[in-house]
Chain A
Amino acid sequence: MPMPLSLKESFQWPFSLCADILISALHDEAAAAANIDAQEKIRDEIGVRKTRAVIDMRRVRAISREAREYYANERTASIQRATALLVGSKLTKVIANFFMGLNKPVSPTRMFTNPDEALAWLATFPDE
Chain B
Amino acid sequence: MTHVADRYDELLSLIHALASGDLAFRLRVPKAGEPGVHDDLEAVFLGLNMLAEELEATTVRRDAYQTALDELQRTQAQLVQSAKLAALGELAAGVGHEMNQPLQVICNHIEELPHLVEERDHEEILRSADEMQDAVGRASEVIRQLRTFARDAVRSEREHIDVGAMVHDSLVLFREDLRVRGIEVILDLADDLPPIHGNPIEVQQVITNLVLNARDAVTGRENATITLRTSVEPGAVLIDIQDTGPGVLPELRKQIFNPFFTSKSEENGTGLGLTISEQIMRRHGGTLTLRNNEPPGAHFTLRFPAEAP
Given the complex, which residues of A lie within 8 Å of B46, measured CB to CB? 61-62, 91, 94-95
A8→B31 CA distance, assembly (Å): 27
Which of B39, B53, B54, B57 contacts A90, CB < 8 Å? Answer: B39
Q: Which of A65, A90, A102 contacts B43 (CB 8 A)?
A: A90
Chain B residues positioned under 8 Å from A89 (CB to CB) = 32, 39, 42-43
Give the secondary structure class of B's interface.
helix
Interface mask (B33-76 → A, CB under 8 Å = 1, otherwise 0):
00000011011001100100110010000000000000000000
CB distance from A58 to the nearest CB of B (A): 13
Taking CB atoms, residues of chain A closer than 8 Å to B43 are: 89-91, 93-94
Contact with B along A55-96 (1 / 0, CB 8 A): 000000110010000000000000000000000011101110
Task: From A61, A65, A91, A95, give the contact of B39 (CB < 8 A).
Answer: A91
Name the CB-closest residue of B to A64: B53
Cβ-based interface call for B150 (8 A) = no
Q: How far is the CA of A94 from the CA of B54 in the complex (A)?
A: 14
In the complex, which residues of chain A have a beta carbon less than 8 angstroms from the beta carbon of B54?
65, 102
Count B interface residues, CB 8 Å: 13
Question: Does B29 belong to the interface (CB within 8 Å)?
Answer: yes
Q: Which of B31, B47, B57 contacts A94 (CB 8 A)?
A: B47
Q: Which residues of the other chain, A, contact B39 by a CB distance below 8 angstroms? A: 89-91
Given contacts A91-B32, A94-B50, 11 further A-B contacts (CB under 8 A): A65-B50, A65-B54, A89-B32, A89-B39, A89-B42, A90-B39, A90-B40, A91-B42, A91-B46, A94-B46, A94-B47
Q: A interface vs B, CB < 8 Å? A: 61-62, 65, 89-91, 93-95, 98, 102
A-B contact list, 28 entries, CB within 8 Å: A61-B31, A61-B46, A62-B29, A62-B46, A65-B54, A65-B57, A89-B32, A89-B39, A89-B42, A89-B43, A90-B39, A90-B40, A90-B42, A90-B43, A91-B32, A91-B39, A91-B42, A91-B43, A91-B46, A93-B43, A94-B43, A94-B46, A94-B47, A94-B50, A95-B46, A98-B47, A98-B50, A102-B54
